[in-house]
């Protein structure tokens, strides 16, 4: 239950914040642990009783009181230390006085908690606070952008593709459906040596191009002026693997819908098409596949827009969201619904858009929007995704309603077995009866099938079937399967998945961002001998395995880049998050202060905060502030400064995430936020940081990527807790001499610029625990830098770019790079002239990218030995030779190969048993290469 999870977080904060000498610390911990035991001893029926709900409210009050008391006291201590630093450091009397002050304040907390616990015993008839736990028929409730470190891909011309059957292709990330096809992309007509008859073109996938020959400084500067509306739309991408369509058996449905939507008016094109079906039938999955179709993109010349309708329908929010995607949203925040409608009609007049309205749940929602989409001047097509059963016949004619088909028993069973992790199923009567009950429970709905199978996959092989027998004893509906998937989670994962609800519905969440937010919120339980980042990765993988988190975009190496919470799960979890007051969402319907509850702990802003923060007491306990208000792209968000100036007074804020908010106003005394762990300013285009940001003692993440900030306070180097520092090609003024270690916990240093004035020796080389490093350097002698890097034995991802004083690629020095000691390195990206390719490359490399290396010797004898390599990119002038040979049996795990701008390459040979798992080849601007290897042609012919 959520209370048990919240209690574990408060216990963790208690241990982290207070020293062992503080009286009553362990007493309070024991009282909170008792709450967890009581919750574990209650069954589902008891938890639904009014007595338990009343008891839970009292527990929640106690938990938040403990959290507020402890963190407020720690803040008082910090402020006293800052004001009377000498006395506090040298006076034991003052220390004892402050300890006594906290003791008196906290000594009544255990008795208060005990009183609440005893009330539960009386109300529910429990005999003991702790026990062995009660197991119900549902089982044990306490059971078991380009992102940093990756290559930035930029959209280029469409390419021709050839698909070659490769049955051995496998996936490097367990959540990607297995591919069965090899994709070959070239930047011109089919090669002359291949018969046109044996090849077919696939225009569904857009080719990617990276202009590596542009000076790096130009790239950096240019990126700062990207359209912020485009950046905001990237949050709602639809990047799903084609195999998902095959898995759900909807490939033909996608084709039919695409054909229907691209019909001309003369052929009877309908202005409105509905996708209708039950909850969990896969309506949104089908619509996304249609939406991202290349034929759809080519047909709707004006563009496409996707809006998810919130359950608390607000016409203004929907219209403003549409305006952002199809027209000019400037100054739209103050317009009335009628004015917004008029502006939207003007934008749509004579245009040809595809507009998707997802999750239209009622007639009322449609009535509020129909005047826009039934206007005769609107030449666009509307795709409605409705949950109405039967569909809204009066909106579309019957032949323009697509009812999503249920899975056949064959598809449903195959999907269930795959998700559950079963290879075979016994033929006995008991097993066959269970199979039929499973099919009945799944009812042909993909959501039921996936959630039920995924939940079983977390059980051990020995008791998986027994657990299935238990949960099949009752009749299940979709909402019951969703509920069971959540209640079956361990406590430490419940808050993690609830936290996803604060993001807008169907929002694409950067995995990098989510991980660091979870850590900063204190949701990750530490494990001995493990980094917190490794634990959070385990938590994420567990939720993905349970299908509670969906990967919406992958990197080329198969690792997740973006994720999202399924809409059905968002609707189910939102009330649970609200019940424990996890966060408050401010949207356009929250027009007055009265709409704000008291004591908001996490504030999520999705609309302008103008004129609503005058009552500072409402934010006395605010821990997190996240803004998704991207409506104004040319006006600095000054209201952010108003809020922060009030919040700083209380000083309890842990998370400040303003990613994508245009130039938010940050107060100069930001450093007074003693508890701040996360400061996310990516894509804000800020020009400067308050100098006091270096005074934040617990700051773990500072992200200023895609900003105009060109320096950081030198006090940043004194930080003892900073773990992740993402910059925007910033040169750091690091003190050359210091008595203390600089940034001892730093794991990520991305976007750093180094020149001859940067202290490397006795400076940067004191950072010895880095896992990710992205460095652009302009040095007359790079020996010190490369020597430091060769000693970063924990390094997992490395990007090095050598440039000269005008920003053009330069040399990596005269000596070969020494990377053999970097045994943990998995991603390597080098841009600049190499004397030669290092012979002893780390054998764990999964992704290698070389640009402008000017290698004269064939790199494949070295690269071919990398047995774990998934992705190989040989980009602009990385190899200057005429012939390249992929050695026999080499590159066994290679899945993606890109050869771009190798202007001298004429001949390319692939020997026997090389690249057996290759699924994608992308060739660009290799104008002298007139054929592909014979082996690949044989595979293609055998596939036809």
pLDDT of amino acid 362: 76
Tokens for 503, please give them. Answer: 């993001």
Q: Do residues 886 and 914 touch, judged by C-beta distance below 8 A?
A: yes
Mean pLDDT of 76-97: 63
Q: What is the number of helices (H) and of strands (E) in the chain?
A: 30, 31
Reference 261, options 226, 298, 316; nearest CA is: 298
Task: State the Cα–Cα distance between residues 458 and 464, nearest whole angstrom.
Answer: 8
Token pair of 611 as six digits: 């004129």
Q: How far apart are CA 717 and CA 762, in angstroms?
A: 13
pLDDT at 521 over 90: yes
Ranges 62-71, 574-583, 608-617, 667-676: which has the least confidence = 608-617
Rounded to the nearest angstrom, the gap between the alpha carbon of residue 568 and the centroid of all alpha carbons in its chain is 18
Q: In this model, does residue 444 exceed pLDDT 50? A: yes
Q: With H, G, I as helix, E, B as strand and everything else as coil, classify residue 371.
A: helix
828 or 197: which leads in pLDDT: 828
Q: In what helix (H) or strand (E) does residue 871 lie, and over which residues does it extend? A: strand 871-874
**What residues contact residue 91 under an 8 Å CB cut-off, 6+ apart?**
none
Work out the number of other CB atoms within 10 angstroms of the CB of residue 713: 16
Q: What is the pTM of this model?
A: 0.84
The pLDDT, as a whole number, for residue 89 is 55
CB atoms within 10 A of CB 237: 17
> What one-character DSSP code corresponds to residue 811?
B
Q: By mean pLDDT, which of 373-377, 558-562, 717-721, 787-791 is the weakest? A: 373-377
Q: Which residues contact 662 (CB under 8 A, 6 or more apart)?
A: 228, 630, 632, 633, 634, 635, 636, 637, 684, 685
- pLDDT at position 60: 83
CA angle, 378 as apex, 375 and 380 as ends, to 5°? 130
CA distance 99 to 11: 19
Instruction: Write the DSSP symbol of residue 823.
Output: T
Q: Which two tokens stand for residue 524?
A: 């990750």
For residue 415, which of 467, 465, 459, 450 has the smallest C-alpha distance?
Answer: 450
Helices (H), 586-701: 638-650
More confident residue, 610 or 134: 610
Q: Are 552 and 240 in contact (CB under 8 A)?
A: yes
Q: pLDDT > 70: what percent of the chain?
A: 74
Task: Give how far Cα 207 sits from Cα of 146, 908, 921, Å.
Answer: 16, 22, 11
Buried-exposed string 135-161: b where 16+ CB fall within 10 A, e elsewhere: eeebbebbeebebbbbbeeeeeebbbb
Distances from the Cα of 458 to the Cα of 44, 454, 529, 549, angstroms: 21, 7, 24, 15
Q: Which of 692, 523, 509 is nearest to 602 (CA)?
A: 523
Using DSSP, state whether 765 is helix, strand or coil.
helix
Maximum alpha-carbon separation in the chain: 90
* pLDDT higher than 80, residue 552: yes
Q: Which residues contact 222 (CB under 8 A, 6 or more apart)?
A: none
The per-residue pLDDT for 171 is 34
Locate 810 and state its tokens. Answer: 């330069």
Q: Supply the CATH classification number for the domain 583-588+596-727.
A: 3.80.10.10
CATH 3.40.50.300 fits 235-403, yes or no: yes
pLDDT tens digits, one per residue of 499-518: 999 998 888 999 999 999 99
Q: What is the DSSP string of 178-239?
A: PP-EEEEEESSSPPTTS-GGG-----SS--EE--TTS-HHHHHHHHTTS-HHHHHHGGG---
Judged against a pLDDT cut of 50, whether residue 692 lies above it is answered with yes
Q: Kindly report, residue by residue over 858-872, the tens digit of the pLDDT.
A: 999 999 999 999 999
- Return the minimum-mean-pLDDT range out of 474-483, 642-651, 723-732: 474-483
Average pLDDT of the residues in 376-385 = 74
Q: Which tokens sit at 66?
A: 């403990």
Burial 77-108, CB ≥16 within 10 A → b, else e: bbeebeeeeeebeeeeeebeebbeebeeebee
Residue 336's contacts (CB-CB under 8 Å, 6 or more residues apart) are: 316
Most confident among 109-118, 596-605, 749-758 (mean pLDDT): 749-758
Residue 128 has pLDDT above 60, yes or no: no
Spatial neighbors of 609 by CB under 8 A, at least 6 apart, are: 586, 629, 639, 640, 642, 643
Of the listed ranges 10-24, 124-138, 242-256, 386-400, the one predicted with least confidence: 124-138
Place of tokens 């240093």: 749
- When mean pLDDT is compared over 249-253, 454-458, 653-657, the highest value belongs to 653-657
Six token digits for residue 735: 């003190």
* pLDDT for 254 beyond 50: yes
Contact 504, 236 (CB under 8 A): no
- 637-682 residue pLDDT tens: 788 888 888 888 888 999 999 998 889 989 999 999 999 999 999 9
- Rounded distance between C-alpha atoms, residue 732 and residue 720, angstroms: 17
Please give the pLDDT value at position 229.
Answer: 42
Q: What is the pLDDT of residue 801?
A: 96
Give residue for tokens 């993988």: 541
Measured CA to CA, the distance from residue 350 to residue 158 in angstroms comes to 27
* Structure tokens, 16: 């982290």
What local confidence, expressed as pLDDT, does residue 807 receive? 83
Give the H/E segment covering residue 731. Answer: strand 724-731
Per-residue pLDDT band for 777 (boundaries 50, 70, 90) equals very high
> What is the per-residue pLDDT for 204?
37
How confident is residue 799, by pLDDT bands cut at 50, 70 and 90?
A: very high
- Token couple for 760: 């490397």
221 Cβ contact list (under 8 Å, min separation 6): none
> How many angstroms separate the CA atoms of 836 and 449, rounded?
53
Strands 550-554 and 560-564, bridge-based pairing? antiparallel
**Cβ pair 339, 289 in contact under 8 A:** no
H/E segment holding residue 90: helix 85-90
Mean pLDDT of 241-270: 73
């Amino acid at each position: 239950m959520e209370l048990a999870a919240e209690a574990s977080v408060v216990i963790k904060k208690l241990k982290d914040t207070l020293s062992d000498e503080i009286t009553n610390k362990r007493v309070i911990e024991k009282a909170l642990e008792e709450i967890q035991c009581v919750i574990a001893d209650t069954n589902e029926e008891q938890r639904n009783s009014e007595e338990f709900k009343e008891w839970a409210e009292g527990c929640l009050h106690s938990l938040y009181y403990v959290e507020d008391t402890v963190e407020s006291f720690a803040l008082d201590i910090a402020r006293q230390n800052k004001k009377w630093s000498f006395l506090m450091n040298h006076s034991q009397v003052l220390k004892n006085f402050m300890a006594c002050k906290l003791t008196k304040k906290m000594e009544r907390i255990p008795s208060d908690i005990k009183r609440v616990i005893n009330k539960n015993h009386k109300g529910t008839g429990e005999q003991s606070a702790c026990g062995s736990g009660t197991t119900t028929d549902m089982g044990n409730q306490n059971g078991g952008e380009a992102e940093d470190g990756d290559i930035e891909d930029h959209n280029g011309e469409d390419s021709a593709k050839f698909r070659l059957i490769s049955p051995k292709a496998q996936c490097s990330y367990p959540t990607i459906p297995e591919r069965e096809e090899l994709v070959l992309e070239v930047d011109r007509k089919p090669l002359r040596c291949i018969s046109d008859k044996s090849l077919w073109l696939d225009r569904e996938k857009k080719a990617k191009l990276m202009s590596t020959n542009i000076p790096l400084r130009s790239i950096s500067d240019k990126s700062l002026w990207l359209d912020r509306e485009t950046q905001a739309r990237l949050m709602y991408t639809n990047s799903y693997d084609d195999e998902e369509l095959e898995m759900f058996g909807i490939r033909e449905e996608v084709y039919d819908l695409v054909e229907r939507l691209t019909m001309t008016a003369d052929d009877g094109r309908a202005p409105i098409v509905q996708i209708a079906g039950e909850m969990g039938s896969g309506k949104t999955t089908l619509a996304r596949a249609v939406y991202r179709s290349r034929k759809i993109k080519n047909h709707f010349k004006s563009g496409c827009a996707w809006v998810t309708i919130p359950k608390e329908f607000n016409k203004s929010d929907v219209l403003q969201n549409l305006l952002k995607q199809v027209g000019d949203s400037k100054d739209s925040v103050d317009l009335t619904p009628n004015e917004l409608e008029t502006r939207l009609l003007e934008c749509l007049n004579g245009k040809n858009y595809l507009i998707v309205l997802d999750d239209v749940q009622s007639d009322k929602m449609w009535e509020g929007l129909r005047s826009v989409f039934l206007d005769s001047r609107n030449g666009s097509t509307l795709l409605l995704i409705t949950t109405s059963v039967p569909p809204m016949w009066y909106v579309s004619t019957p032949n323009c309603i697509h009812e999503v088909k249920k899975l056949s028993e064959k598809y449903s069973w195959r999907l269930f077995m795959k998700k559950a992790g079963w290879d075979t199923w016994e033929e006995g009567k008991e097993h066959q009866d269970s199979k039929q009950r499973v099919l009945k429970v799944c009812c042909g709905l993909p959501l039921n099938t996936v959630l039920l199978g995924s939940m079983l996959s977390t059980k051990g092989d020995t008791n998986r079937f027994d657990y299935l027998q238990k949960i099949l004893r009752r009749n299940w509906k979709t909402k019951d399967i969703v509920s069971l998937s959540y209640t079956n989670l361990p406590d430490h994962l419940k808050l993690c998945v609830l936290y996803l609800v604060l993001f807008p519905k169907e929002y694409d969440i950067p995995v990098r961002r989510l991980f660091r937010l979870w850590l900063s919120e204190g949701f990750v339980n530490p494990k001995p001998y493990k980094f917190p980042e490794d634990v959070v990765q385990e938590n994420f993988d567990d939720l993905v395995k349970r299908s509670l988190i969906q990967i919406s975009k992958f990197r080329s190496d198969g690792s997740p880049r973006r994720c999202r919470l399924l809409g059905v799960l968002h609707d189910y979890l939102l009330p649970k998050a609200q019940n424990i007051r996890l966060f408050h969402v401010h949207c356009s319907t929250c027009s007055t202060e009265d709409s704000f509850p008291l004591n908001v702990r996490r504030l999520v802003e999705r609309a302008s905060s103008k004129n609503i923060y005058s009552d500072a007491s409402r934010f006395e306990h605010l821990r997190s502030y996240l803004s998704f208000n991207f409506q104004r792209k040319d006006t600095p968000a000054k209201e952010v400064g108003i809020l922060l100036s009030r919040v700083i007074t209380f000083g309890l804020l842990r998370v400040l995430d303003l990613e994508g908010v245009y130039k938010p106003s940050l107060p100069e005394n930001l450093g007074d936020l003693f508890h701040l762990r996360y400061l996310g300013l990516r894509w804000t285009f800020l020009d400067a940081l308050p100098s006091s940001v270096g005074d934040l003692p617990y700051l773990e993440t500072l992200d200023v990527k895609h900003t105009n900030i060109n320096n950081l306070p030198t006090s940043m180097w004194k930080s003892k807790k900073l773990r992740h520092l993402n910059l925007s090609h910033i040169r750091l003024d690091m003190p050359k001499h210091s008595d203390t270690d600089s940034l001892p916990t730093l794991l990520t240093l991305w976007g750093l610029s180094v020149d001859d004035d940067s202290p490397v020796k006795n400076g940067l080389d004191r950072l010895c625990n880095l896992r990710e490093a992205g460095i652009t350097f302009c040095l007359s002698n790079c020996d010190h830098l490369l020597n430091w890097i060769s000693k970063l034995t924990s390094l997992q991802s490395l990007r090095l770019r050598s440039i000269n004083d005008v920003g053009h690629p330069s040399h990596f020095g005269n000596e070969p790079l020494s990377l053999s000691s970097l045994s943990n390195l998995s991603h390597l990206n080098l841009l600049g002239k190499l004397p030669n390719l290092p012979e002893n490359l780390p054998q764990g490399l999964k992704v290698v990218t070389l640009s402008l290396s000017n290698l004269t010797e064939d790199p494949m004898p070295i690269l071919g030995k990398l047995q774990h390599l998934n992705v190989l990119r040989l980009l602009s002038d990385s190899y200057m030779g005429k012939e390249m040979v992929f050695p026999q049996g080499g590159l066994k795990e290679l899945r993606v190969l890109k050869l771009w701008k190798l202007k001298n390459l004429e001949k390319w040979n692939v020997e026997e048993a090389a690249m057996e798992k290759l699924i994608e080849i992308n060739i660009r601007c290799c104008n002298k290469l007139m054929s592909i290897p014979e082996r690949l042609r044989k595979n293609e012919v055998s596939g036809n």
